Amino acid sequence: MCGIVGYIGSREASSICFAGLRRLEYRGYDSAGIAVVEDNELKVRKVVGNLNNMEESLKTKALPGSLGIGHTRWATHGRPSIENSHPHLSCDGKFAVVHNGILENYQELRSQLKSEGHTFKSQTDTEVVAHLVEKYYDGDLRNALISAVKDLEGAFAIGCICAGSPDELLAVRRFSPLVVGIGETENYIASDMGAIRAETDKVYVIDDDEVCKITRGGIEITDLDLNPIEREPYVIPWPADAAQKGGYKKFMHKEIHEQPDAMRACLAGRLSSVDKPITFENIGLTVDEIKGFKKIIFTACGTAMHAGLVGRFLMDKLARIPTEGDLAAELQQRDPVVHEGTLCIVVSQSGETADTLEALRAMKAKGAKVISVINVVDSSIARESDGVAYIQAGPEISVASTKAFTLQVLTIQLLSLYFAEIRGTCPPDEMKRLKAAILAAPGQATELLKREDDIIAVAKKYYKKPNAMYLARGVNLPSAMEGSLKLKEISYIHAEAYSAGEMKHGPIALVEPNMFVVSIACEGPTYGEMIGNIMEIKARSGPMIAVAYDGDKKIRMTGADPDAPADDVGSQPNDMIWVPRTEEYISPLLIGIPLQLLAYHIADLRGEDIDQPRNLAKTVTVK
């Protein structure tokens, strides 16, 4: 796991690269390095350990030059050391490269290059790139990098500079994330947009096998055959001071509205098209391990557990791996069987929750492989996991989690499809449909947020009720649990969530006019049964809000006399929350959003302190 940055302009490249590396430190921190071009020479600074050491080094001795590349390393090939730190140089010291990813054929390339007379200084896979560029260079750096890249197998985002070319910064990627930041008379490269957000809000998100030739005045993107590629700049939606409320009344409200763009950031570099495989770098799992998993255990607390429960469903259904889900505080009580091939997936926004951290340690001690789905970079859980899938939600300030939930669900959906793709357990047609549904989700989320006034109208009808019940079946049972948790924690309305199948086994006794029921009844495998449950509740005078797909005509006919007028809600849901149609397994990604808005507006109408609900803390670091 590594981070790369680069800068070309008129300011000191080492300072800008260093600031970018600071924001990429979550990607690795066992060594760092910066190379700059100054007076047609490459100057390189490397340190072992975290970036404080680089800061000290740059303070002690400046590294001038207005073209540079930087790297923060998470060792994969070769131990953390100065020799193994990037940037790596060619034999003649004229070409420097930084690389994030893993080159699968580096051993063959290394032997070949050695036989041609190249000498290697490190044990890394990356060093071959510097030597390949040197080998192919005939006066044109871009052509040399393209020839080098054509020899590579594996994953890479590469930044490259040349001592004799002080006016160009080259970058290329395949399966590892890369963005190019757009400035006025200066430009940037980085592993993620957060690294350069302080400098610019406009980036090009680079795709596989695209090469960028970046000068002070422009950016040329081409394919490996030098065909030009037109790309719309992506405007980074979150401000440099993303932790500010930005015009919203409450952080929770702002964070609910950030979700479509946060989804896009989470997808960047992982899923770009239905025809391309999902990529997940740095999750610390080999293809053979993923093929060999025999059991998965999801563990987390609260909202994060609800996302984990979506994962329990999907890993079983799509990746065909027997999957369990336990609250972190309960996992050890059960003393689960862990054998070879057991993967534990820990979900946490903060990465610091005490019960979750303890569950992680217990699972590791039992010999499970542990990966985590985390928001806060470099948090304790992230550091102690074998691999991390960051959800890329940006800072979440509101105590009630919203965007982190949605992005945990999205990351877990991507992970499940990634596993399914590697294991070959999901038919290609279904895989395409699910990928298409995920790619459509950010736009659908925007559409859902435009319907906020409809939710406010519903909230106005129910906010005085003392009790609520949320019902669903299948993959949306966790959505019901999350909707109910959101309502109770910020409005203090007593709310319960049940599988609708459980109603007749007890909870239906609670139904009466003062308890409103929210039923998730989107057309899909459980639709018919949900309709039956809605009728049972309506028959007992329970006020009902139903969540259904746009264009569902049947739901409002539920049990009604077909001759009754449409506003006769005697046996129909009293109110509707309409959601854009999507695939069943992807639907929790969208259904959570109106339920967050419903909880928010009910709490707002009740005049509650939404961002600081009573008795709750954002991060629970005690058991």
- Interface with ligand F6R (CB under 6 A): 301-304, 348-350, 353, 356, 400-401, 485, 489, 619-620
Task: Decide whether 365 or 622 has the Cβ nearer to ligand F6R.
Answer: 622
> Tokens 């993967």 sit at which residue?
343
Residue partners of 200: CB distance under 8 A and separation at least 6: 181, 182, 183, 188, 236
Yes or no: say if 143 and 136 are a contact pair by the CB < 8 Å rule: yes
Task: Decide whether 509 or 622 has the Cβ nearer to ligand F6R.
Answer: 622
Answer yes or no: 2 catalytic.
Answer: yes
Spot the catalytic one: 202, 317, 364, 618: 618
CB of 399 to ligand F6R, least distance (A): 6
Q: Rounded CA gap, 263 and 244, in Å?
A: 20
Task: Decide whether 259 or 349 has the Cβ nearer to ligand F6R.
Answer: 349
Q: Rounded CA gap, 157 and 170, in Å?
A: 11
Q: Rounded CA gap, 2 and 71, in Å?
A: 7
Is residue 429 classed as helix, strand or coil in its secondary structure? Answer: helix
Q: Rounded CA gap, 458 and 448, in Å?
A: 15
Q: Rounded CA gap, 463 and 611, in Å?
A: 18
Spot the catalytic one: 2, 162, 266, 301: 2
Task: Decide whether 32 or 400 has the Cβ nearer to ligand F6R.
Answer: 400
Q: Which amino acid is at 602?
A: I
Q: Name the packing angle between helices 403-423 and 259-267 (round to 10°).
A: 30
Complete DSSP assignment for 267-336: HTTT---TTS----TTS---HHHHHH--EEEEEE-HHHHHHHHHHHHHHHHTT---EEEEEHHHHHHH--
Task: Decide whether 188 or 298 has the Cβ nearer to ligand F6R.
Answer: 298
CB of 619 to ligand F6R, least distance (A): 6
CB of 356 to ligand F6R, least distance (A): 5
Please state the φ and ψ torsions of residue 503, each to the nearest 5 degrees: -50, -50
Is residue 91 classed as helix, strand or coil in its secondary structure? Answer: coil
Task: Decide whether 158 or 310 has the Cβ nearer to ligand F6R.
Answer: 310
Task: Decide whether 76 or 350 has the Cβ nearer to ligand F6R.
Answer: 350
User: Which residue's Cβ lies closest to ligand F6R?
Assistant: 302
Among 171, 186, 152, smallest CA distance to 9 is for 186
Q: Rounded CA gap, 440 and 605, in Å?
A: 32
DSSP secondary structure code for residue 228 in this structure: B
Residue 541 zone, left/alpha/beta (φ > 0; ψ -120 to 50; rest): left
CB of 355 to ligand F6R, least distance (A): 8
CB of 503 to ligand F6R, least distance (A): 25
CB of 302 to ligand F6R, least distance (A): 2
Positions annotated as catalytic residues are 2, 618
